[in-house]
Structure 1
Amino acid sequence: MTATDTQVLLDAVRAFVDDELRPHAEEFDRDEHLPDHLLKRVGELGLWAPFLTGVPMVTVGQIHEEIGRGCSSLRSLLTVHGMASWSVRHWGDDAQRERWLPRLTDGSLLGAFALTGPEGGSDPSVSATTAEREGDGWILNGRKKWITGGQVAGLYLLFARTGDALTAFLVPRDTPGVTVEPLHGILGTRASMLAEVVLDDVRLGDDAVLGPLGWATGTVMTSALDFGRFSVASGSVGIIQACLDATVAYTTNRTTSEGPLFERQLVRQKISDMVTGLRTSRLLCREAGRLKDAEDPAAIMANWIAKYHASTTAAACASAAVQLHGAAGCSPEHPVARLYRDAKVMEIIEGSTELQQITIAEQAYQEVTR
């Protein structure tokens, strides 16, 4: 893409966010649902999996930042759809790419990432979802929970135990034995249409296996989660920007007996922290995207760091935004209440804050003791 093409795309995304997404984000949050016309619009803009059409990862990150500024629920759908699409492109055979990628590209088929189970979270070593060999195919049984976009996805990138190892499967939603149970009342990203996916003697052929049999943990799962962390980090930058915008606007207009709030030094201190957190998080995401475009192995750790910093900064900025709004910040009349809930989710998904700390610190020890 040329610089002009990139700018035209980002301008279109920004206009979409300001005109069609942000004005209705609170409504989507209350309804716990994103309307079909909005999802169709995302496809018209080419945003479901833009990397499949040659858009650089740096620009993909900017797109996810903009969407995150408007609605983290939609950005979460872009994340899991991107994880499924990324995996098919990188690990699928020719037949799988030909079958799935065109529809994943235009959004006529939505993908979801199904790793987490109700029995042990996202730890693959305790997964109770199994795939047993039968003839020239497989029989899958188990449950996957907290599946973002699970209510609307037509294709699940699903992980099941094959013996003592983990294998990735492409499971069409309309396969007999697949049941989708919507989940409601989630703390944040309420419109991301989470679901529990139940598999009861689901029969699949060998053409459903994605990547090497029994080696999903170090291949398909690792690369998909790497994309997911980049998306969540970029979306967290969008949350920070939204918190900053809302707080500057509110403290400018909110007047007390001592004058406008923005004149208070403590208020300016919090605003300064938001600005600094925004700039540093954005730079970390840009660097991670640049390394990913260069296919540099350092991109993996860059994504860990970007996700850790951006998600924790988003949570801190959202907390400060609610604090500066006072009672109004606890009301659905102001977006900071939703941003506060969404930001907390960012510290958990695609690797919790604590897991990020363990991984980043381990890398530091390895570098020092080489």
Structure 2
Amino acid sequence: MTHAADPAGVPDAAEFALAVRGEAAAWDRSGTLPEQVRKAVARAGLLGIGLPERYGGSGGGPAELGEVCAEIGGVCSALRGLLTVQEMVAAALLRWGTAAQRAQWLPQLARGDRFAAFAATEAGAGTDLAGVQTRIDEDGDHLVVTGRKLWITFGRTAEVFLVLGRTAGRPSAVLVEGDRAGVHRKPVEGQLGMRAAEIAHVDFDTVRVPRDHLVGPPGIGLTHVVGTALDHGRYTVAWGCVGMAEACLDTAADHAVHRLQRGVALAEHQLVRAELARAAVQAGAARELCARAGRLRGQGDPSAVTETVVAKYAAAGAATAVAGAAVQTLGAAGIAPDSLAGRFFRDAKVMELIEGSQFVSELHIGDRLLRRHGYRPAPAERTRTVIQEGPR
């Protein structure tokens, strides 16, 4: 895997990834990420890459965060998912939380004292989160959270949830600790991919939290708080997909060189070389688009949001295509139990759904392109805002 040298203060994700690489298949089989692994991630300093040092983070920029997610993504999508949800909640608090909230929660997230989850999706609100029905009712000095959230990554074990709901009809976001009365979790097992991500459906049954757990005022919970979290998550997923694609490419190329049929290496066949060539171009293009998005994010460029959508769209597509090519090249070895290519083949399809599906991304990208040329859709043709779908 090609990656830039980490600056001082940013942990070496490549070293950590190498140390746990041999364990990822077992996590996938068991459908869980062991607690000792989560703690090891925290000790390695990988949970606060994008947070300022004053909050216990590494102070890394978008480029450093991206490379970390690529390294971890090339080993285990669920492990990268742990970094993603932690970064999503932290990014929302860093941007929209009060000074007191940042001082209280961000160091805990950076140290791994609390592991976070992002609770937005509902039965009637997946692609269109404006349709959430979870209530966040005001009750004196407290808020009361009532609703059911679906497909929550690390929902089984999270110690704090960032929950999207409605307060007096206005979109709101609130922090809910996982051990509060009324929080009930239903594990999801056997899903297509990200099987070690401990996904759960979570019921919030009149859960009472202090009023100071509200992140931002009512009305900006979706467009600002959750929007920031999703944009951040989309970026980390994109880089994770780059890692998946590069890992699959390396696996397939190594197999093609060393697998002999009648004394002839697979690499001698033109069709195999062509398949690997296409995969190499797709993986390389995805990396460059992610790097461009990272540069724009670091510069605070307004186009960074759309370019992040572009990067995630390309990287998820590349991960799916390259994983498929790897399975095809490996043949029976690609579909064998514990095959990295087979595991990433399943995971990659999930990546094409989360943080805005490929269809949703195409609408967003196409709309922004046409608007630069003066296009304004008629009211009846405008699609509803669609920014999230599936587990994250």
TM-score range for the pair, normalised by the shorter chain length: over 0.9
* SS of residue matched to 2:138: strand
Aligned to 1:161: 166
Query: Scaled by the length of structure 2, what TM-score is found?
Result: 0.90
The reply on whether 1:29 has 2:34 as its aligned counterpart is: no
CA distance in 1, matches of 2:162, 2:257: 47
Distance in 1 of aligned mates of 2:61 and 2:310 = 20
Deviation at 1:133, TM superposition (A): 2.2
Aligned residue for 1:102?
Answer: 107
Distance in 2 (CA, whole Å) between partners of 1:310 and 1:4 is: 22
Q: Choose which of 205, 228, 231 in structure 1 pairs with 2:236.
A: 231
Amino acid across the alignment from 1:6: P
Distance in 2 (alpha carbons) for counterparts of 1:145 and 1:64: 24
| Deviation string, structure 1 residues 334-360 (Cα, Å, up to 9, x no partner) | 211101001111000100000000000
Residue 117 of structure 1 aligns with an amino acid whose one-letter code is: E
SS of 1:218's partner is helix
Q: Residues of 2 paired with 1:291 and 1:50: CA distance? A: 18
In structure 2, the residue matched to 1:18 is 18
Q: Partner of 1:284 in structure 2?
A: 289
What SS does structure 2 have at the residue aligned with 1:196? strand
Flag as ranges the 4+ runs of structure 1 deviating above 3 A. 7-10
User: Which letter does structure 2 place at the counterpart of 1:187?
Assistant: L
Report deviation, 1:258.
6.7
| 1:184 positional shift | 0.8
Matched, 1:218 2:217: no
- The structural deviation recorded for 1:79 is 0.7
Return the offset for 1:122: 4.4
d(CA) in 2 for partners of 1:114, 1:294: 30
Rate the CA distance shift 1:8–1:19 in 2: closer, same or farther, 3 A: farther
AA in 2 matched with 1:129: T
Whole-angstrom CA distance in 2 between matches of 1:23 and 1:232: 22
Q: Distance in 1 between matches of 2:115 and 2:256?
A: 41
Identity of aligned residues (%): 38
* 1:121 counterpart = 2:121: no
Letter of the structure 2 residue corresponding to residue 327 of structure 1? A
Contact 2:10 2:60 in 1 (8 A): no
* Whole-Å separation in 2 of the counterparts to 1:90 and 1:304: 20
How many residue pairs are counted as aligned between the two chains? 366
Q: More deviation in 252-261 or 76-85?
A: 252-261
Measured after TM superposition, the shift of residue 130 of structure 1 is 1.2
SS at match of 2:320: helix
Q: 2:321 aligns to what?
A: 316
- 1:12-63 Cα distance to aligned partner (Å, 9 max, x none): 311211122x111110000111112211111112111211131111110000
SS of 1:222's partner is helix
1:362 matches 2:363: no
Retained in 2: the 8 A contact 1:124–1:166? no
Amino acid at match of 1:225: L
Task: Give the Å deviation of 1:139.
Answer: 1.5
Q: What is residue 191 of structure 2 aligned with on the other side?
A: 186
| Aligned residue runs from structure 1 range 192-341, under 5 A | 192-257=197-262, 259-341=264-346
Gaps in structure 2 of 5+ consecutive residues: 52-56, 376-392
Q: Does 1:49 align with 2:48?
A: yes
Deviation at 1:204, TM superposition (A): 2.0
Paired residues of 2:150 and 2:201 also in contact (CA < 8 A): yes
- State the alpha-carbon separation in 2 of the partners of residues 333 and 109 from structure 1: 31
Q: Provide the residue aligned with 2:378 in structure 1.
A: none
User: Which 5+ residue runs of structure 1 have no aligned equivalent?
Assistant: none
- The answer as to 2:155 corresponding to 1:150 is yes
SS state at 2:221 partner: coil
Structure 2 counterpart of 1:82: 87
The answer to whether the 8 A contact 1:17-1:66 is kept is yes
1:168 & 1:333 partners in 2: Cα distance? 39
Q: C-alpha separation between the residues in 1 aligned to 2:144 and 2:206?
A: 6
| Corresponding residue number in structure 1 for 2:7 | 6
More helix by share: 1
1:100-152, Cα deviation, whole Å (9 max, x unpaired): 11111111111111101133324223222112222333221111110001122
